[in-house]
Amino acid sequence: MKSERPAGRSGIGGWVFLVVVLVIYAVTTLVDYELVLSGVGVFTQLLDKVLPALALVFVLFFAVDLLLDPKRVEKYLGRRSGILGWLAAIVAGILSTGPVYAWYAVLHDLRQKGMRTSLVAAMLYSRAIKLPLLPLLVHYFGLGYTIVLVSYLIGFSIIGGLLMERVGDIHAVSD
C-alpha cells in the first residue's frame, strides 16, 4: 500500500538534484572556468527568452483566478455553453497572442474549472488565424481566398473540437 505525503510537502529529491548540480558546477569551475562562464551565458540568454512568457502565464493565471470562478467558467464554457461557448473559444483563439505553451497552463486551469475539451481544442486550432497577418494574406492571395481559408479554419476548429470531445468521452468510458 502506498503512503501519501501530506499536501504541500515534497520529498528531498529536488534538493538532492540541486546539490548534485551545484557540485558538478563547482568541479567544472575548478577544471574549466571558461566552460562554466559559457554555460552561465547560455543560461542567461535562455532565461531572457523564457521570462516574458512566464510573466505572461502568471498574469493570465491571475486574471483567470480573479475573473473566472468555476461557476462562471461552467456557465460560459461548460457543457451547456452552447453557441456562445464556441464563439468565445474561437474569438479567444483568434485574439490570443504569444507562445502557445503559455496558453497550455491557462487552458489546463480553465479545464479544471469546467471548460469543455472541445472548446479548448477549438481555441487552440483557431490560433492559426492571425489578425495582424490577414491584410497581408488578402494582398498576396486575394479576399476570396482569405475568406475561404478563414472559414475553413473556423469550421475545422469546430470539427476538431467535437472530435476531441468524442475522444475524451471514449477515454473516460474506458477508464
Q: What is the pLDDT of residues 22-39, one digit of tens each?
A: 999 899 999 999 988 998
Mean pLDDT of 74-81: 79
* pLDDT one-digit tens code per residue, 84-139: 899 989 998 998 887 888 888 888 888 888 889 999 999 999 999 998 889 999 99
Is residue 165 included in any domain, yes or no? yes
Is residue 118 included in any domain, yes or no? yes
Please compute, for residue 48, the number of CA atoms within 13 A of its CA located in the half-sphere on the CB side: 6
Is residue 144 included in any domain, yes or no? yes
CA–CA distances in Å: residue 43 to residues 13, 47, 66, 85, 99 = 23, 6, 33, 41, 20
Is residue 96 included in any domain, yes or no? yes
**Host domain of residue 88:** 54-170
Is residue 45 included in any domain, yes or no? no
User: How many other CB atoms are there within 10 angstroms of residue 111's CB atom?
Assistant: 15
Closest by alpha carbon to 53, among 129, 91, 106, 94? 106
Is residue 104 included in any domain, yes or no? yes
pTM of the model: 0.61
Tell me the one-letter amino acid at 75.
K
Query: What radius of gyration, in Å, describes the C-alpha atoms of the chain?
Result: 22
Q: How many domains does one find in the chain?
A: 1
Is residue 20 included in any domain, yes or no? no
Is residue 74 included in any domain, yes or no? yes
